[in-house]
Amino acid sequence: MSLKTRLSHWWLALVTLPRLVLYPEERRLLAAMRGFSQRLPQMMQQPIPEAMQQITPNGPTVTVNVHTIRQLADLAALLDRRSPLGICLRRSLVRYHFLRQAGVPLAVVFGARFENGRQANSEISGHAWTTLYNSPFYEADENWRKFTVMFIWPEAE
């Protein structure tokens, strides 16, 4: 993990955690997000379309603002360090579920790339990110540009 990434994680915690003292609704939402994040490995043991169907909420039920939900979702994914799922997948799925509950029409993109850019003698790297209206949602360009899109959920709305 790069120093820039580590610093961004520390910054997220420093900015987000103090608010939780003042806002019980945000504390409850973070607790729900952490529980959801901890259940993700079990949910993701089925084929991706079935798992995503299960993860997709029925409709808007959350009234916290979008910026706060995104920050809390990112924090919940970050705090779930023992998960067998990578942080990008946890973050994307927690964002997707809870922002969808707030009425934001996010999609989750699953991508892959060859680590050294060639198929021969290379490892495949996977990544997941969220999009809003087909544009990456709070995702740095270097984190998605070189990935080939393998699957998008929901496929079309």
Predicted TM-score (pTM) above 0.85: yes
Residue pLDDT tens, the chain, 157 long: 677 777 877 887 888 888 888 999 999 999 999 999 999 999 999 999 999 999 999 888 877 899 999 999 999 999 988 899 999 999 999 999 999 999 999 999 999 887 765 555 567 788 899 999 999 998 887 778 788 899 999 986 5
**Domain limits, the chain:** 3-153
Instruction: Tell me what pLDDT residue 60 has.
Output: 81
- Provide the terminal-to-terminal Cα distance of the chain, rounded to the nearest Å: 35
Taking alpha carbons only, the member of 121, 14, 128, 154 closest to residue 71 is 14
Q: φ, ψ for residue 114 (rounded to 5)?
A: -85, 135
